[in-house]
Amino acid sequence: MSAIKRMREYALYERVVMRILFAWLVLTATPARLSFYEIPAPNGIARLLNLHFLLDPQVYAFCRMLLVVALVLYVLRLMIWLALPLALFVNVAANAVTNSQGAIQHAYQIVSLVLLAQTAAHFYGVWLRRAGEARTLLEDQLIWWSQQTIVAVYFVAGITKLIVTKGLWIFQARMISVSMAKAAYQSFYDRLDRADLEQMLAMANFAATHGWIVVLIAGCGLALELGSPLALLNRGMAALFGCALFAFHLGLDHTMRLSFIFNQWLLIIYMINIPYWIVTGARAMDRNKGSNRLEMSA
Amino acid sequence: MVRHILEVIGCKRPVPLRLAAALGWLKRTRFKCLFVMTLLCLGLRENYPFSNFPMYSSFNSRTSLVYLTDAQGTPFSTMGFDLLNSTLNKIFYGWRRAELKKTAGSSTARVALAEHTAGEALLRYIDRHASVHPQIRNLLHGLRVQHLTIRLEAHELVLQTQTLATHE
């Protein structure tokens, strides 16, 4: 049996919603403009390719237009072989330029990685078919690899914590109050919102004086990251971990103003998958009503 | 290596046993993307689009950050410079690390010199940044790079500020 045949199958309405939301997310996760005058510290793909041409506003505007066309094709499932690589190139190249200014941000990687996984999944599926495998649902493969990529991001973050601290991250977490205070001041110097600073500093001071509570919460966060591969077991686990990780992000946003909006959206789109649960719930209610009517008439 | 991988995937030629077993397993497993992405992210580290996501991977009892003020010490909103404070800090600490590698001498003197040089470099960066953001040019005169240190001492947060560099 081929690897693809074992995939779960997604209904058309789920796939359409996923496609539209992901296309919108890719567009949002690609800078509207690149207002830089140089690429002082090339990072990632900018090390391999000379991306200075993107600094020309007209060239970049054209690339953005190509991206929009590619995403429309993606939503319509037309010329996917062209749409995915094109969207991937524009998204990765633009964000690589942004990350080549001497400061590496971690907001957009997850979107680019999911886009990369979808591109790889498409061509892997095509290759399997050419190698004699039966025709299968390629789009299911794209969704399945997207879910694995989202999980990989959390899993890697968990492993890195253990590698960097030689397994002692949980014990260091007592000192998170220092990082919370730093996040409070960084957020303050962004917008000069003093009320917000005072609220965040109050939480940092609470963390400083209640180390064991912090260790407990941080431990749950680490367990969630390291246990994230369990989300791939079935739809229920995907939704459960999706909601837990979503709540984890809300907590981080509230306490440290660490907003990972793209992670949250990807969890909603591919892990929580709200349309499926609405339809499943509605069908279950219909069945219950039907069986009740039968019982009444009997 | 690449040829071997291609041959194993295509099952056209026998290859070393371990590599064949690993690639065979990879071909069979449903979780190949999870496995490959994890390895790529951990192996390639900070190379966009890959990352090992090192944010908050370790904690210290002491940290610091830089921010911008006018000549009187009144803070500027970093977003007014079309930058985030976190970006400003990443740039500053990138230069600080580079300077620390270059300079020799006692630890305290080296750090002070590296921070001063990185502060000056940050002002030059903002100068160049102003060339594509004309709205910030009138904020440059007297602009200061301030350094805030945060320490955890006996369950209390202690703050200390010093000026690193001033724009002429």
Do B51 and A104 make contact, defined as CB atoms within 8 angstroms?
Answer: yes
Percent of chain B exceeding pLDDT 90 equals 67
Per domain, the residue ranges of chain B are 2-55, 60-166
pLDDT at residue A247, rounded to an integer: 96
The band of A133, judged by pLDDT with boundaries at 50, 70 and 90, is low
The band of B103, judged by pLDDT with boundaries at 50, 70 and 90, is confident
B69 CB within 8 Å of a chain A CB? no
Partner-chain residue, chosen from B38, B50, B58, that has the shortest CB–CB distance to A172: B58
The band of B27, judged by pLDDT with boundaries at 50, 70 and 90, is confident
Mean pLDDT of B5-9: 54
Which 3-state string (H, E, C) describes chain B?
CHHHHHHHHHCCCCCCHHHHHHHHHHHHCCCHHHHHHHHHHHHHCCECCECCCCCCCCCCCEEEEEEEECCCCCECCHHHHCCCHHHHHHHHHHHHHHHHHHCCCCHHHHHHHHHHHHHHHHHHHHHHHHHHCHHHHHHCCCCEEEEEEEEEECCEEEEEEEEEEECC
pLDDT at B7 over 70: no
pLDDT at B35 over 90: yes
pLDDT at residue B159, rounded to an integer: 95
What single letter denotes the amino acid at residue B92? Answer: F
pLDDT tens, residue by residue, A143-199: 999 999 999 999 999 999 999 999 999 989 889 999 999 999 999 999 999 999 999
pLDDT at residue B3, rounded to an integer: 60
Do B148 and A181 make contact, defined as CB atoms within 8 angstroms?
Answer: no
The band of A136, judged by pLDDT with boundaries at 50, 70 and 90, is low
Partner-chain residue, chosen from A104, A173, A179, that has the shortest CB–CB distance to B90: A104
pLDDT at residue A4, rounded to an integer: 42
Mean pLDDT (chain B, rounded): 88
Partner-chain residue, chosen from A44, A106, A201, that has the shortest CB–CB distance to B47: A44
Which residues of chain B does A105 touch, with a Cβ-Cβ cutoff of 8 Å?
86-87
Mean pLDDT of A121-139: 81
pLDDT at residue A37, rounded to an integer: 82
**Residue A283 buriedness (CB in 10 A; 0-12 / 13-18 / 19+):** exposed
Q: Which of residues 35-54 of B touch A (CB under 8 A)?
A: 37-38, 41-42, 46-54
pLDDT at residue A2, rounded to an integer: 43
pLDDT at residue A137, rounded to an integer: 72
Measured in angstroms, the CA of A268 and the nearest CA of chain B are apart by: 19
B59 CB within 8 Å of a chain A CB? yes
Per domain, the residue ranges of chain A are 16-126, 136-282
pLDDT at residue B5, rounded to an integer: 54
C-alpha gyration radius of chain A:
22
- How far CA B133 is from CA of A262, B80, B87, B122, B140, in Å, comes to 27, 10, 16, 16, 12
Residue in chain B lying closest to A8 (CA):
B30
pLDDT at residue A3, rounded to an integer: 43
Measured in angstroms, the CA of B145 and the nearest CA of chain A are apart by: 12
